Amino acid sequence: MTITPNDIANKEFKKVFRGYDADEVDEFLDQIVEEYEKIYKENLNLKEKISTLNEKIEHYANIESTLQNTLVLAQSAAEQAKENSKKEAEMILNNAKEKSEELIKDAQNRANQIISEAQQRVLEINKEYEMLRQEFNMFRSRFKGLLQAQLETIEKFE
């Protein structure tokens, strides 16, 4: 059962002959209520912070997942472009035996350009992914530090 600050403030004890000084007990209970309220409110604030930080972690995890999917798609697109370029170059080579060598070189240059652009895009996506992953790791480290500090603070009050 959770004890609230109101439970402490409203607690009444039986009065007996030669019992404790009621004023002294009431004063002490008032101090306990005040301190407990502070800790109770701080605990609620920390729970809200944890909830907010968990939402941010989930958001960053979704971003990471999206980036990974984008990276896979970019790699697939690069491979597809590479294969399409190779097929196109092979078709041109097979059909262009009669054509001049200049046409063949143009086709190969175009294939290399497509491959180069696709590889460049993959590198850019990898760089962006790595940057976001580092930001996520920094965020996670800070979050862990914050949680550690908050836990230590709570343990000090216990």
Tokens of 111: 């294939």
Please provide the average confidence, as pLDDT, over all residues in the chain.
87
Packing angle of the helix pair 22-95, 101-157 (nearest 10 deg)? 170
Concatenate the DSSP letters of all residues of the chain into one string: -PPPHHHHHT------TT---HHHHHHHHHHHHHHHHHHHHHHHHHHHHHHHHHHHHHHHHHHHHHHHHHHHHHHHHHHHHHHHHHHHHHHHHHHTSSS-HHHHHHHHHHHHHHHHHHHHHHHHHHHHHHHHHHHHHHHHHHHHHHHHHHHHHHHHH-
**79-121 tens-digit pLDDT:** 998 899 888 888 877 776 677 777 778 889 998 999 999 899 9
What is the C-alpha separation between 89 and 113, in angstroms, rounded?
Answer: 12
* pLDDT higher than 90, residue 46: yes
Structure tokens at 7: 């439970």
